[in-house]
Amino acid sequence: MLSKRSISRQVLDATYAVVFVLLLLPSTLSGVSGSPGAGVLAGFGVALALRRRSPRWSLVLAWVLAVVQMASQVLPLSADTAIFAILYCSAAYGDSVVRRVGLASAVIGGVIAALYLVYVGGDPFAPVTDAGLQEPSLAQFALLLVGLWAMLGLSWSLGRLAYARRSAIESAHARELAEVHQARAEHEVAIEQERNRIARDMHDIVAHSLAVVIAQADGARYVRAVDPAAVDTALTTIADTAREALSDVRVLLGQLRHSQGDLPTPTAGDLERLLDQMRATGLNIDSEIDSTEVSLGAAGHLALYRITQESLTNALRHGDADQPVRVAIESDSAGVELTVRNRVLPGRPAVESSGHGVAGMKERASLSGGVCTAAGDGSSWTVTAWLPATTPSTKGTT
């Protein structure tokens, strides 16, 4: 099968073959071989033209010409030097089969050529007898064989080195391309992860803030006639919640535009403030928070805050407002365990299972190295999250 080569290389090979034939043609025609020698020369020219485009057929043609040359008893010609270039190309440009055949050709061809020159065609280096005939000997055969193997083997070995060098260059280029593709893929994955993170933050901020605003607005409408002061309290809570949500949304939008860092990491004080904010909506929260200080890392603290926020928001939207919501945070040297349990209204699903909130909580916990579960038993809904510690814990004093 002809291998695909560039047009410029094919033209170069053909030009080299033509020049080779034209340079050797006068001496071949004027020599003892005459026209048969010119035919062999032309054949080797064709083999040279094909040596890189099709090393297999070039090698086959070289064997055919060698057999024809020996069968016609044509003396060794200068055209036979083309065999060295053909062997080189069989190793440099051929496939694994052609390379092995080329090596075998160098070995077997050397033996056949030595036998022919010494015992059939006449060794030009053999001593001349009184009768003018040459006396072949085993030593002459061995000497000639070693020389032929050295030249033929050197040609094949140089081609093999050229193949190895080209393969190394192609492998390096392929690795560079693979690294570029991998870097591009990692960049795209990083962008997608960043978008998902921002989407989770946006969901948590907007869903929580709107739930608080709706609860306060509904409560203010119901008590407006009997307790006007409660309306002012509700409006203040709505304004504070909306203002805080607007600030967080602006930070998120800035991240989208400029790839800035994460939101500020929530602290224990922020968690207490979140509970107070939810209590202000009318949600009855029974909290029990362990005072043990455990470092969860920035991602872990943010996950703890957001999971608590989402759980309380779901309790506000879907839970039984007449029953308290229990929030428990237990800490040890391994990490922090959060449990949020609330009662649900009879006949009403606890949380929309197809929503983004539950999936977001589980993903946040997973990205922090922890785990989060959310399930209901018909009368209550429980969210449990465990987040691993990043450093040994320090027992608090309060």
Rounded CA separation 147/162 (Å): 23
Q: For the CA atoms of 205, 206, 209, 215, what is the dihedral angle to 10 degrees?
A: -140
**How far is residue 80 from each of residues 26, 49, 51, 74, 368, measured CA to CA in Å?**
15, 15, 14, 11, 74
The single-letter DSSP state of residue 125 is: T
- Per-residue pLDDT reduced to its tens digit, 268-308: 778 888 888 888 878 899 998 887 778 887 778 888 888 99
Q: What is the DSSP string of 318-341?
A: HB-TTSPEEEEEEE-SSEEEEEEE
Rounded CA separation 53/61 (Å): 14
| Model confidence band, residue 194 (pLDDT cutoffs 50, 70, 90) | low
Q: What angle, rounded to 10 degrees, do the helices at 268-280 and 138-223 form?
A: 40
- Per-residue pLDDT reduced to its tens digit, 179-189: 888 888 887 77
Residue 354 pLDDT > 80:
no
Residue with tokens 């939008």: 253
Contact 387, 304 (CB under 8 A): yes
**How far is residue 73 from each of residues 33, 138, 212, 378, 389, measured CA to CA in Å?**
9, 22, 106, 103, 90
Beta strand 371-376 pairing with 335-343 = unpaired
Query: Residue 143 CA to chain centroid, in angstroms?
Result: 56
- Per-residue pLDDT reduced to its tens digit, 111-154: 988 888 887 765 444 454 544 445 567 888 888 889 989 999 99
Contact 276, 289 (CB under 8 A): no
Element (H, E) at 304: helix 297-318
- Report, as an integer, the average pLDDT of 232-237: 77
Which pLDDT value is given to residue 121?
A: 61
Q: What angle do CA 27, 112, 122 make, to 5 degrees?
A: 55
Side-chain half-sphere exposure of 217, counting CA atoms within 13 A: 10
Residue with tokens 């901020």: 205
**What residues contact residue 93 under an 8 Å CB cut-off, 6+ apart?**
3, 51, 52, 55, 159, 163
Contact 371, 386 (CB under 8 A): yes
Which pLDDT value is given to residue 36?
A: 80
Q: What is the DSSP string of 19-39?
A: HHHHHHHHHHHHSSSHHHHHH
Contact 240, 213 (CB under 8 A): no
Which pLDDT value is given to residue 398?
A: 34
Which amino acid does the sequence have at 153?
Answer: G
Which pLDDT value is given to residue 251?
A: 62
Residue 392 pLDDT > 70:
no
Which pLDDT value is given to residue 349?
A: 57
- Per-residue pLDDT reduced to its tens digit, 84-112: 999 999 999 988 899 999 999 999 988 98
